Amino acid sequence: MLKIAAWNVNSIKARLPNVVEWLNEAAPDVALLQEIKTVEDTFPLMEIQAAGYRHTAICGQKSYNGVAILSRHPLTEVVRGLPGEPEDQQARYVEAVVDGRVRVASVYVPNGNPVGTEKYPYKLRWMENLRAHAEGLLRTTDLPLLIGGDYNVCPTDDDVYDPQGWAGDALCRPETREAFRALLWLGLTDTYRAFHKEPHRYSFWDYQGGAWQRDLGLRIDHLLLSGRAADAVTACEIDKGPRGKEKASDHTPVWCELDL
C-alpha cells in the first residue's frame, strides 16, 4: 500500500514545523509539495530526511513557485520542468518514478489572474502542455500514473463556496474548466470525487475575511489517476488538520492510498 499526498505548503521554510509535524503524523509514503518558494540548495533537507524522507526531487525557484517530491522510497527517472515549456522560468513541475511502482508528478498550475493580462493565456497554455505531456505518458508508460498538486481549478460550482461571485475568476472560468476536463478525458480520474460526491468540500481557504472559520473555501488541489492507478486506489481524503494550525498554509493536504 502506498499513501500519496499533495500539499501546497506556501513556503517550506515558513511552514517547516507544520510540515514536519504532518509528515510524522500522517506518514505518507510520498508527499508532493507545491509553492516551496526556495531553490534546491536552500531546501531544508536535513529536517525532511530526519522525518524519514531520504529521497527527494526538487524543482525550485527563489521566493516563488517551486515543487518537490518527498519519498520514503527510491526515486528514479526524475524530470524537472514541464516538457513543452522549454523557456518557462517558473518552477511548476517535477516528475519521478517511486520504487519502480508508480510514476508521480507534483504540479503547480499557474493561477491565471488577472484574467485580462498575459497571465491567463499562460495558464491555459500551461494546462494544454500538461495535457499533451500526460497523454504521452499514458501512451508510453506501463506504470500507474498520479499527477497531483495545486491545479488552481475549481472543476465545478460544487467546488467553490460562492459560484456566482467567482464565475469570472481564472480558477472558475469556462475555459479553465474545459482545460481541466481535457485532462480527465484522457482517462484520468479526479480521485476525491470518485469517493466523495457531496458538494462544498474544500482544500483551500483564503487568509482574509475569516474564510477558514466560516468555511468559505475552494477545492483546487487534486489527485488525478490513470486507469491502472484508479483500479488500485482504496481511499482518498482531504486532511483539514494542518489548515487549523498556527502559521498554517492556506491550503491543506489531499491524500490517497494505492494498493500496488
Contacts of 117 (CB under 8 A, 6+ apart): none
DSSP conformational letter for 2: E
H or E stretch at 256: strand 254-258
Which residues, 6+ apart, have CB-to-CB distance to 98 below 8 Å?
A: 2, 29, 30, 69, 71, 73, 74, 75, 104
CA 178-182-185 angle, 5° bins: 130
Q: How far apart are CA 241 and CA 164, in angstroms?
A: 28
- Active-site annotation, residues: 108, 150
Element (H, E) at 201: none
152: left (phi over 0), alpha (psi -120 to 50) or beta: left
DSSP state letter for 242: G
Sign of the dihedral defined by the CA atoms of residues 136, 139, 145, 148, in that order: positive
Of 172, 55, 196, the residue nearest 120 (C-alpha): 172
Omega before residue 114 within 30° of 0, cis: yes
